[in-house]
Structure 1
Amino acid sequence: MVTIVLDRLADVIQRQIQEEVNLVRGVRKEVDYLSSKLNTIRNVLEDAERRRYKDKTIQSWLNKLEDVSYDIDDVLDEWNYAILKHQIERSTSKHEVCPFTPSSCFCFNNVATRRDIAKKIKGLKERLNGIVNEKDVFNFIVNQPVDNAQESTRVRSTSLVDVSEIHGRENDRDVLVSKLMLEVVGQQPQVGPRVVSIVGVGGIGKTTLAQLVYNDDRLVNVSELKIWVCVSDVFDEVRIAKAILEIVAGRSSDLNELESLLNCLKDSISGKKFILVLDDVWTEDYAKWEPLRNALNCSDPGSKILVTTRSERVARLMHTAETHHLGQLSDDDCWMLMKRAAFYGRSEEECEGLQYIGKKIANKCKGLPLAAKVLGSLLRFKDTKEEWGCILDSQIWELREAEVELFPHLFLSYNELSPSMKQCFSYCAIFPKDSKIDVEMLIRMWMALGFLGSTRSTSELELRGKEYFNNLRMRSFFQDYMEFRGRVTCKMHDIVHDFAQFLRKTKSHNLDGRVEARKNASFQAYDPSLVPR
């Protein structure tokens, strides 16, 4: 909301200059102050958002910031309306002649409007000043580019897996093994390894499937080398090249320069056939991937690269030949995963008594393996039917365990979004679960709420809205994308919807009411038929 308000402040000031009106005479300094302080806050918002879900005091601070941002936005609405009214009245006065008291009523209203807006802006300045001063208590880190050399704090995956603990991925495994065994014959010779990507939402089991494929006996004689590298959120070209070279050469490398490493890698894999797994790829910067790709191109044409990623954009960037969109598990498979943890150490009699409720709880996972494991771990420490019943009756986003173990996997994708896209995504929690979302209507809602910026060009806003939606869809926040008779619809996975609800829960208590009121007031400007009845 801070970014949106800053854009609107600049837009309204520009309009005031263009229309040659001065509706807030004497408070330009206060307006500049608001912009300056909001810019200061914007520089630490990334760190604040990252910490808000673990620190309730930061959450409270952000709630106050959200409230004052909406109040500033309300004043800007009044300002915009006053400018528009001034234009209309000025245009009307040109055609009217009043020799005694020309425009006296207009002048009176103009002064009253000016004083009212000025008073509100000064009040907002005082509130914002308090919020800015309070910011210093939290020692926020100022936003700065990610250091490529910085080591990721996340746990790195390995190729090791207990196959007995995996359920419901046999068909996916067979499809991918077939693709990795396939020798592509075409008129044009293939340049470099063929890339196959597994794409899906966080927690759907992409890494687990890749582990299952990597360890499949059918691939033993397909290639000379099998290589597993966990890329994670920091695409460190030097580390990745070293990891590949270590397996190919059978020893670790002392080289630290990318140029030397890649030349050494080229020599080591020249003419060799390999299967390389790049797990958990995030970067959308082709310049980071290209040097490594060029080095790998000298391998045997039958080499394959298996990529796991949450983003279809990443899959396309890596020149993926085939994309495998990983779907949800069945409820029975979720139950098999969940009961391994939930029934650990229990007697057969206990298990029989809890099984009926347990299967219903498994349905809440909506095909997400990670959710099944999280709930199974939670149920392991619940002994009675009443305790299991409480879990069944709760929303997932109300469970503390979901905040700690499940949602962090979704936060990784969420934190990659711009502030405006974060707002667009969390707003989608207003739709009922499993409902079809009309994409055009959704974009117009975002427009009406100001989430897409303050430019006055409707076509430009619509284009930006489509860009935001496609970005969210390609990051797996939306699914079941369908086009039928000119109407485009989509859905949200239930766990993703729960996550959006969780995000809104942490916002200010009166936020939903404010957003709904703003939406209803703004819809008419874009399409009166969309005003909720």
Structure 2
Amino acid sequence: MDNGLKDATYNADDLLDEIATIALRGELEAEAKANGNQVAAGQFSALNPRNPESMLKNIVERLDSLSNQRDLLNLNGIVRGKPSCMFPTTSLVDESKVFGREKNKEELTEFLLAGSVRELVVIAIVGIYGVGKTTIAQLLYNDSKVEEHFELRAWAYVSEEFDVLNITRTTFESITPSDCNVRDLNVLQVKLKQKLKGKRFLLVLDGIWNVNFSKWDLLSRPLSVGAYGSKIIVTTRNQSVASIMHAVVTYPLPHLSFEACWSLFAKHAFNTRNPAEQPTLKGIGEEIVKKCKGLPLATETLGTLLHSKVEVEEWHRILKSKIWDLPNDQSNILSALLLSYYHLPSHLKQCFAYCSIFPKGYEFEKEKLVFLWMAEGFLQQQKGNDTIEEVGNEYFRELLSWSFFQQSPRNK
């Protein structure tokens, strides 16, 4: 079907060329007559076009056929436009359901409690979706030593749109006992500045997708009046966010170990039951955990799906299933991944989609992938001195910064 659509597209290009040819022949004949030259039959035979009406009819028939194929293949339900948004986060956390983050918490706590000669220090926690960035931020936010160290604490969920007014209002309401109905950004920032002045505070900005320097500069103006040692924790999938916000510390959050993932899975799948008492399910569960590749969200989601399942067939079904086979109302993994893809610019979407030719877990070299993109004509060379290879390398860096690619743990 994809090849048929490409052929129809090429035919449409041919039709435009034929129309341009007709126009050009008309201009040449008119020019010749204007100069008093007799136009002989066939003089412009090299410019004789095919019949554009029959070409157009052929294209329409082909598109109709492709549309019918789409209906027969039940492709009408493909997500169009923007996927559904994610749920907002809060600062609350159930620590009994967190495993394997002791070392990460300890390292980040040291950064938080360290003194500073700067008014404001940004700590960026970076990682792919589902690796636990929000969870580690929640653990830090609720740590007793952190709570004692900072006079004021605030939590703001950012998500897709970096809305300065909403973030400022949420920050202000977090450190004041009453709601704030102010709708004017200037008035709100003046109020927030008065509350923060001379105070050592901690602000968590959770789930930043993207931000430009102007918005960050505007948001940070009332924050710069805090006492030395004030900190901002940022969680993001995009490494560029850390750069724009001048993060002093960029902390790539690693995947969980198998042991930590198994503890998390067993907590949800077996609940109070002892996995050792059900060796068959335990064996299948261990294989499921391996599929999760150290991602706590995937581990927790699959464990929760199996919580009430005691039949071996059900566990085998989950083991063999793919992410898009999971019930939409029981897993937000797919919608989040689609949302990440939705936010890519079109030129990066096609480059990333092309990578579906690689099997799952395939390790590839950057240079070879860039050459493949070049061969497909995906690289858009802008005006300037950048070579086509440099354009491809920039595309790759952007996808890497968005965590769409991961560096191989075995071959750097």
Q: TM-score, normalised by structure 1?
A: 0.63
Counterpart check, 1:342 vs 2:269:
yes
Counterpart residue number, 2:323: 397
Question: Which residue does the alignment assign to 2:50?
Answer: 115
Aligned CA distance change for structure 1 residues 382 and 259 (closer, same or farther; 3 Å): same
Greater mean alpha carbon deviation, residues 351-360 or residues 300-309: 351-360
**Aligned ranges 1:365-404 → 2 under 5 Å:** 365-392=292-319, 394-397=320-323, 399-401=325-327, 404=331
How is 1:343-362 mapped onto 2 (pairs within 5 angstroms)?
343-344=270-271, 346=273, 351-362=278-289
Offset of 1:400 from its aligned partner? 2.7
CA offset digits 1:369-393 (Å, max 9, x no partner) = 111012112222432223323333x
Whether 1:156 aligns to 2:88 is yes
1:165 to 82, 94, 97: 97
Alignment match, 2:207: 280
CA distance in 2, matches of 1:395, 1:124: 39
- Aligned to 2:285, what secondary structure does the other structure show? helix
Asked if 2 retains the 8 angstrom alpha-carbon contact of 1:282 and 1:310, the reply is yes
The alignment covers a number of residue pairs equal to 376
- The answer for the alignment partner of 2:35 in structure 1 is none
Match of 2:28 in 1: none
Match of 2:108 among 176, 186, 190: 176
The answer on whether the counterparts of 2:85 and 2:339 sit within 8 Å (CA) in structure 1 is no
Matches within 5 A, 1:98-137: 115=50, 120=55, 122-128=57-63
Structure 1: gaps (5+ residues) = 1-63, 83-106, 145-151, 483-488, 491-533
Alpha-carbon distance, 1:404 to partner: 4.5
Give the aligned partner of residue 317 of structure 1.
Answer: 244
Shift of 1:119: 5.5
User: In the aligned structure 1, how far is the partner of 2:408 from the partner of 2:211?
Assistant: 22
Query: Does the CA-based 8 Å contact 1:455-1:461 persist in structure 2?
Result: no
Shift of 1:217: 1.7
CA distance in 1, matches of 2:384, 2:60: 30
Decide whether aligned partners of structure 1 residues 130 and 398 sit closer, same or farther in structure 2, where only a CA change above 3 A counts: closer
Q: Indicate if the aligned counterparts of 1:362 and 1:372 stay in contact, CA closer than 8 A.
A: yes
Structure-1 separation of matches of 2:294 and 2:313: 25
**Structure 1 residue 293: deviation in Å?**
0.6
Query: Partner of 1:88 in structure 2?
Result: none
Deviates further, 368-377 or 430-439: 430-439
Counterpart code for 1:266? K
Normalising by structure 2, what TM-score?
A: 0.80
Residue 231 of structure 2 aligns to which amino acid in structure 1? K
Distance 1:180 1:324 in 2: 12
Separation of aligned partners in 1, 2:156 and 2:383: 48
Task: Select the residue among 113, 120, 124 that pairs with 1:193.
Answer: 120
Amino acid at match of 2:59: L
Q: Find the partner of 2:359 among 406, 428, 432.
A: 432
TM-superposed deviation, 1:458:
11
Distance in 2 separating the partners of 1:444 and 1:121: 36
Q: Give the structure 1 partner of residue 182 of structure 2.
A: 255
Residues 15-47 of structure 1: per-residue CA shift (max 9 Å, x gap) = xxxxxxxxxxxxxxxxxxxxxxxxxxxxxxxxx
Distance of aligned partners of 1:350 and 1:467 in 2 relative to their CA distance in 1, 3 Å threshold: same
| Distance (Å, rounded) in 2 between the aligned partners of 1:439 and 1:419 | 20
Structure 2 distance, partners of 1:390, 1:253, is 50
Unaligned runs of 5+ in 2: 19-43, 71-75
- The alpha-carbon distance between structure 1 residues 260 and 371, as it changes in their structure 2 partners (threshold 3 A), is same
The offset of 1:129, in angstroms, is: 7.9
Q: Once the two structures are aligned, what percentage of the paired residues are identical?
A: 37
**Cα 1:264/1:400, change in 2 over 3 Å:** same
In the alignment, is the contact (CA less than 8 A) between 2:381 and 2:391 conserved in 1?
A: no
CA separation of 1:447/1:76 partners in 2, compared to 1, >3 Å: closer, same or farther?
farther
- Give the secondary structure class of the aligned counterpart of 1:476: coil
Kept in 2, the 8 Å contact 1:272–1:299? The answer is: yes
Partner of 1:26: none
- The residue type equivalent to 1:160 in the other structure is L
Q: Does 1:302 align with 2:238?
A: no
Q: Give the conservation status (yes or no) of the 8 Å contact 1:270–1:300.
A: yes
Is 1:205 aligned to residue 140 of structure 2? no
In 1: Cα distance, 2:408 partner to 2:9 partner? 33
In structure 2, give the amino acid aligned to 1:124. Answer: I
Deviation, 1:341, is 1.6
Confirm or deny: 8 A CA contact 1:334 1:372 kept in the other structure: yes
How far the C-alpha of 1:117 sits from its partner, in A, is 9.2
My pick for the range that moved more, 467-476 or 400-409, is 400-409
1:401 is paired with a residue of what secondary structure? coil
Displacement, 1:263? 1.2
Aligned partners of 1:456 and 1:153: how far apart in 2? 36
Distance (whole Å) between structure 1 residues aligned to residue 100 and residue 187 of structure 2: 44
- Go from structure 1 to structure 2 and tell me whether the alpha carbon gap of 1:79 and 1:306 turns closer, same or farther (over 3 Å shift): same
